[in-house]
Amino acid sequence: MRRLRKHFSRKYLREEVLPTPFCPGCFNGVVMNVMFKAFEELGVERLKGYVFVSGIGCSSWIPSPHIKADTIHTLHGRAVAVATGVKLAKPNLNVIVIGGDGDLAAIGFNHLVHAARRNMDLLVILVNNLVYGMTRGQASPTTPEGMRTVTTPYGAYEPVMDVAELIARTNANYVARWCVANFNQLKNSIKEALSKHSKGFRFIEVIAPCITYVVRYEGKTPGQKIKELMKVCRPNTETPYGRIGILKAEDKPGYLDRYFEYVKRATEGDKGE
């Protein structure tokens, strides 16, 4: 028997760690496919010069053992802080942070907001699975009101935190929110964030409901849920997950530009005196 053709993503993956540890049908795998398709279309064959930083959580497993690039798996919530350090130490590297809603929006939200305020030159991909999936599906800050989880069996009653809109209010350069079913739009957003808007803070939120603790509780299969998301998530419309689409796209100077300008001013000032 001849050898099987390989999936296009597998040239970016450490194949010895496959299969992935995700549940059957987990949308984290689709997010990986989107990202690798974006890299493929940008002409990136080997991920040299890219650093992937993640914290703790299901979606933080996307880069850490899998992607064939430099990866850092750091403390819970501190992925953005570590990525800031990486970018300042090695400004020529492309630093990408991948984390979940529990990691970036709950415990590490202050790091996220302050990196956005500084317009730090990072690409942050928030894979929002709507619950704390790794600890068995408790309600998280991004759980939509009324959604049934293990800790809110009569529906979530806390008001929801709209992370993408909050980041769009800060100094960030590029903010977008897509569902995992918006494959092409999400891919184009990642491509724009890596090529056209390559300076400053780029934030992409991906709505990827947890297969085990959201979709199964709704009595649906992964296939049914992705078909439903394809219908619900129309670009530039209000959905139960907030407004879908590109929320902000600007070209302000990033933190590093300002920082090096400041260093230049300081050193030239020293010479003058």
Min CB(224)–another protein separation in Å: 7
Please state the closest distance from residue 183 (CB atom) to another protein, in A: 6
Contact mark string toward another protein, 148..187, x via CB under 8 A: -----------------------------------x----
Q: Whole-number minimum distance, CB 239 to another protein, in Å? A: 19
Question: Per-residue x/- mask for another protein, residues 181 to 220, rule CB under 8 A?
Answer: --x---------------------------x---------
Angle between helices 79-89 and 255-272 (to 10 degrees): 40
Closest distance between another protein and the C-beta of residue 3, in Å? 10
Site for another protein in 222-261 (CB under 8 A): 222-224, 226-227
Q: Give the interface size with another protein as a residue count (CB under 8 A).
A: 31
Cβ nearer to another protein, comparing 83 with 211: 211
Burial class of residue 198, CB neighbours in 10 A (0-12, 13-18, 19+):
middle
Q: Return the number of the residue (37 or 87) whose C-beta is nearest another protein.
A: 37
Q: Which of residues 12-71 bind another protein (CB under 8 A)?
A: 13, 18-20, 22, 24-30, 32-34, 37
Residue 129: which residues within 8 A CB-CB, separation 6 or more? 27, 58, 59, 100, 101, 208, 209, 210, 214
Give the span between the Cα atoms of 265 and 199, in whole angstroms.
21
Alpha-carbon distance of 50 to 113, in angstroms, equals: 23
d(CA 99, CA 104): 6
- Rounded Cα distance between 11 and 209, Å, is 27
Closest approach of another protein to the CB of residue 186, in Å: 11
Rounded (5°) CA angle 17-22-24: 115
Alpha carbon distance 129, 61 (integer Å): 14
The token pair at 222 is: 């992964």
Interaction of residue 271 with another protein, rule CB under 8 A = no
Q: Where in 90-129 is the site for another protein (CB under 8 A)?
A: none
Which residues form the interface with another protein (CB under 8 A)? 4-10, 13, 18-20, 22, 24-30, 32-34, 37, 183, 211, 221-224, 226-227
